[in-house]
A = this chain, B = another copy of it.
Amino acid sequence: MSEKIYIGVDVGGTTIKVGICDAEGHLLHTFEGPTGTGKGTDVILHNIANYAREIVKESPFEWEQVEGVGVGIAGFLDIPRGFVKFSANLYIENTDLRGFLEQELQKPIKVNNDANVAALGEAWAGAGKGIDNCVCYTLGTGVGGGIIIGGRIVEGFASMAGELGHAAIVPDLEAIQCGCGKMGCLETVSSATGIIRMAKDAVERGDRTTLSSLEVITAKDVVDAAKVGDEVAARIVSRAAFYLGKSMATLAILLNPQYFIIGGGVSKAGDFLFDQIREVFEKYTLEQAKEGVKIVPATLGNNAGIVGAAGLILRG
A residues whose Cβ falls under 8 Å from a Cβ of B: 76, 133, 147, 149, 154-164, 166-169, 171-173, 180-183, 246, 249-258, 284-289, 291-293
A157 touches B286 (CB 8 A): no
Q: Cβ of A291: which chain B residues have Cβ within 8 Å of it?
A: 158
CA distance A230 to B133 in the complex (A): 47
CA distance A287 to B254 in the complex (A): 22
Q: Cβ of A163: which chain B residues have Cβ within 8 Å of it?
A: 253-254, 286, 289
CA distance A249 to B256 in the complex (A): 19
Q: Cβ of A258: which chain B residues have Cβ within 8 Å of it?
A: 157
Q: Which of A156, A167, A180, A253 has the most CB of B within 10 A?
A: A253
Pick the residue among B133, B158, B169, B173 that contacts A289 (CB under 8 A): B158
Q: Cβ of A156: which chain B residues have Cβ within 8 Å of it?
A: 133, 255-257, 289
Main secondary structure of the interface of A (DSSP, over half): loop
CA distance A254 to B163 in the complex (A): 6
A250 touches B168 (CB 8 A): yes
A257 touches B157 (CB 8 A): yes
Pick the residue among B155, B158, B172, B246 that contacts A288 (CB under 8 A): B158
A255 touches B161 (CB 8 A): yes
A-B contact sample (4 more), CB < 8 A, given A157-B293, A158-B289, A166-B286: A154-B255, A156-B255, A158-B291, A161-B256
- A194 CB to closest chain B CB, in angstroms? 17
A168 touches B255 (CB 8 A): no
CA distance A255 to B158 in the complex (A): 10
Q: Cβ of A161: which chain B residues have Cβ within 8 Å of it?
A: 254-256
CA distance A85 to B286 in the complex (A): 16
Pick the residue among B167, B172, B289 that contacts A254 (CB under 8 A): B167
The 5 nearest A-B residue pairs measured at CB: A156-B256, A171-B171, A157-B258, A160-B256, A161-B256
CA distance A156 to B258 in the complex (A): 8
- A80 CB to closest chain B CB, in angstroms? 11
A288 touches B257 (CB 8 A): no
Asked, given contacts A157-B292, A166-B253, A255-B156, whether A182 binds B284 with beta carbons under 8 Å apart, the answer is yes
User: Nearest B residue to A173 by beta-carbon distance?
Assistant: B171
Asked, given contacts A182-B284, A249-B168, whether A254 binds B157 with beta carbons under 8 Å apart, the answer is no
B182 touches A286 (CB 8 A): yes
Q: Which of A149, A169, A183 has the most CB of B within 10 A?
A: A149
What are 20 contact pairs spanning A and B, CB under 8 A? A133-B157, A147-B255, A149-B154, A155-B256, A157-B292, A158-B292, A159-B256, A161-B255, A162-B254, A163-B253, A163-B254, A164-B253, A166-B286, A167-B253, A168-B246, A168-B284, A181-B287, A182-B284, A182-B285, A183-B284
Q: Which of A155, A181, A256 has the most CB of B within 10 A?
A: A256
User: Nearest B residue to A132 by beta-carbon distance?
Assistant: B157
